[in-house]
Structure 1
């Protein structure tokens, strides 16, 4: 059973195990309190995993120990609340050791004395507690006198069950540890610590409010391990001498003797009867509270169980859906990987094809550029030669007096009227010669211009084809890159969803 880090390891296992008959042997005998034991077993730590199952190992072992003790100690038998102490011991050791330690606490630590002689020793402990309150917490002691609240009304379980019935287990473990080391007087230290830490709240209550505070609010306060730790530190720092306790015990017995001498036996018996009836009513009330707590705990556990089952069903459905989604995602991933591989292969082929086309087109363009360069050079040479030839002809025309009359300064033929006049004077043979030469020159010039135009057209056509090829290569690269990038993004998105 896990305990808090501040609690010392209990000394239960280091105790000398008494040479007693085994639990199994005592549990086989008949017990007059068997029905009370059976009734209390289900009410002992009903929310604890070890004791919550009816007929489980925890309840079975607890029943054996309580029944064995009731048979072993016939004078005391089984007392209500004894099952809580036995359950705490069972959380630390096997049945036989737990039974032996229970007997050790009852006999050697004086716990069984509280149950004898109509709880006479228990009332002595109440008197001692009130006298200690009067000394250590006088204002709270006076307030309890004002509202007629006596120690037996709130401290019975503290002494009879050693705080095991109401308080959290990590606090109870430490109290039992201190009790085994220091003795039963430790109960006074813890009780005064509880009263001191709760003084401010108790001073504001009336009789009913104080009883409710002890029954409900006080145990809830120490569900916090920090509060329980502070309480234990306060209890350990309190110094209550045995001499003082002996003094208060002597005062109580002296007071009881005086009351016995002064009281009529019938009145004393009636008073004792009323006190026992009050104690019985209080125990029945506590019993009802425990039963109500048990029923409430069972209802809460059933609701929690139903909610847990509903959540489990919902989680199972969600798990199945998630598994199906995972299968679909893996299938989609596999398909996308195959498609990606195909796209990569296709893009690789297209790229190789485009690169070969680029090389081929580059070669063609280079050839065309070379041809165009050659044609341009030829054209320039031809133009230069034509200019030279034209200059020669002009020079000859200028040198010829008769030819000069047919041409103007720009080298063009003069008007028809003037030409006719000149032609009448020239011979037909010279005219025809000049005309033929001019036609040949114009024809050669026209052919040269035509070749230049054709070369320019071829260059433009080649440049157009080159642009188309470059666009196709760029489109192929872009399409391959976009498809590859889209495939990678899709695959990455699927993997991200799977990871989430």
Structure 2
């Protein structure tokens, strides 16, 4: 039955968001101003009048009309924006209402933030118990919890801390309740203890405002912090005990304190809170302007880079066209060169064939000439042997040769007739002319063969 009632309430809230968006809210100007400062660097919310800012405006305006007693409070836009990143605007409105009412976040805004100051007291008592050295250091600096933990409770860490850490906190909140804020706060103070102990008043405030959120931009650091937060024990009985102590203390102060002094003190506290909120507002505005300037600078750089890339692309395309033309020309030249080489190769092959034939003929002629010369030499040798045998058979002529067969002139005492000597000389001269003639013919044939080869 409880689940059915929850569904009915959710359906009613979805219907109410449509009805209440049309109503006029006295906080529209504040809502519009806060929306422009909510996650200005996020893609979903950075565009003015974009879908993200439009949905965020509808949720914040609907809640300001829905909750007439509290209305819209500064910083709620961040919590609504975190919900919008995970669900449609109707469901985000329902979850926002549930967190404010059922999880008790709305109680922190009531009665001049009396519930919030009770949370501050509980946090300081837990710090005193678990980290007394850091608690005493804060006392020496006059650094109170409301000076650094206001946004932790009112906006659930959504304003300053990175989204990767905020998503874990919201999950734990929906699972465990609002008390998980104490776990996360104590884990933050524990991990930052060494830095805070060395800081003065201004340094501590700056550390909480600037340096502490930057530490958890890395998801791994945020995950380790959540593990430490879950391991910290914050007993519910102890929180109730501290709450009773705070209420008792407030009653005693109300009885002992003069009303005028109490009003002055409340006024002074409100002024301090107002100054602190104005400072945070200025910081947010500065971050917004800085983010816009950075985005504008990044956009200009990207546009310049895009122009350079476009020019390089055009140049690359032009070079590609030129390269393709050059490739085509080279291919044509290559084909022409191949054709020339093919023709020259065919011509060379024909010349080789012709040369081979000439060489073959030359070899054949040389072989014939060698055979013929050998035959002539053999015939000449035979004729010489015949002549020699005839000469040796003659008693008068045999004396012209030595015993080894070589020719020799006759001695002065020999009786050779001039006629015989003349005949012999004529015969030898005739044979010599014939051999010279054959040699000349052979040389002529050799020259003709060389001419054919060339």
Fold shared, TM-score > 0.5 on shorter chain: yes
Partner of 2:50: 56
Query: Does 2:227 match 1:233?
Result: yes
Of 182, 186, 195, the match for 2:180: 186
Contact 2:35 2:77 survives alignment (8 Å): yes
Q: For residues 166 and 432 of structure 1, do their structure 2 counterparts lie closer, same or farther at Cα, with a shift above 3 Å needed? A: same
Partner of 1:45: 39
TM superposition shift of 1:449 = 2.4
Of 401, 407, 411, the match for 1:411: 407
The TM-score, its normalising length taken from structure 2, stands at: 0.93
Partner of 2:4: none
CA-to-aligned-CA distance 1:406-444 (integer Å, 9 cap, x gap): 6786436679x999x7334x4xxx566534432331112
TM superposition shift of 1:459 = 6.1
2: CA distance between counterparts of 1:386 and 1:66? 139
Partner of 2:443: 453
Of 5, 10, 28, the match for 1:17: 10
Give the alignment of 1:72-87 within 5 angstroms.
72-87=66-81
TM superposition shift of 1:336 = 1.4
Partner of 2:93: 99
Partner of 1:387: 381
Contact 2:39 2:78 survives alignment (8 Å): yes
Of 408, 428, 431, the match for 1:438: 428
TM superposition shift of 1:461 = 5.7
Partner of 2:305: 311
Contact 1:372 1:455 survives alignment (8 Å): no
Unmatched 5+ stretches in structure 2: 1-6
The alignment covers a number of residue pairs equal to 445
1: CA distance between counterparts of 2:392 and 2:94? 154
Q: Which runs of 4+ in 1 moved over 4 A?
A: 404-409, 412-415, 430-433, 455-463
1: CA distance between counterparts of 2:398 and 2:61? 158
Q: For residues 216 and 432 of structure 1, do their structure 2 counterparts lie closer, same or farther at Cα, with a shift above 3 Å needed? A: same
The TM-score, its normalising length taken from structure 1, stands at: 0.84
Q: Does the residue aligned with 2:348 lie in a helix, a strand or coil?
A: helix
- Greater CA deviation, 361-370 or 284-293? 361-370
Query: Does 2:173 match 1:174?
Result: no
1: CA distance between counterparts of 2:129 and 2:202? 25
1: CA distance between counterparts of 2:202 and 2:400? 150
2: CA distance between counterparts of 1:235 and 1:274? 34
| Higher RCO (CA 8 Å, separation ≥ 6 residues) | 1
1: CA distance between counterparts of 2:446 and 2:352? 22
1: CA distance between counterparts of 2:347 and 2:131? 102
- Greater CA deviation, 32-41 or 18-27? 18-27
Q: Does the residue aligned with 1:128 lie in a helix, a strand or coil?
A: helix
Partner of 2:109: 115
Query: Does 2:130 match 1:136?
Result: yes
TM superposition shift of 1:285 = 0.1
1: CA distance between counterparts of 2:17 and 2:272? 35
- Greater CA deviation, 179-188 or 130-139? 130-139
Q: Does the residue aligned with 2:396 lie in a helix, a strand or coil?
A: helix
- Greater CA deviation, 152-161 or 132-141? 132-141
Q: Does the residue aligned with 1:396 lie in a helix, a strand or coil?
A: helix
TM superposition shift of 1:400 = 2.2
TM superposition shift of 1:399 = 2.7
Query: Does 2:209 match 1:243?
Result: no
CA-to-aligned-CA distance 1:445-487 (integer Å, 9 cap, x gap): 1123223434554566677x4xxxxxxxxxxxxxxxxxxxxxx
Contact 1:375 1:455 survives alignment (8 Å): no
Query: Does 2:211 match 1:217?
Result: yes
Q: For residues 15 and 22 of structure 1, do their structure 2 counterparts lie closer, same or farther at Cα, with a shift above 3 Å needed? A: closer
Contact 2:400 2:407 survives alignment (8 Å): no
Query: Does 2:191 match 1:197?
Result: yes
Partner of 1:476: none
CA-to-aligned-CA distance 1:140-194 (integer Å, 9 cap, x gap): 1111111111100000000000000011111111111110111100101111111
Contact 1:372 1:459 survives alignment (8 Å): no
Partner of 1:6: none
Partner of 2:346: 352
Partner of 1:294: 288
2: CA distance between counterparts of 1:166 and 1:457? 110
Unmatched 5+ stretches in structure 1: 1-13, 466-500
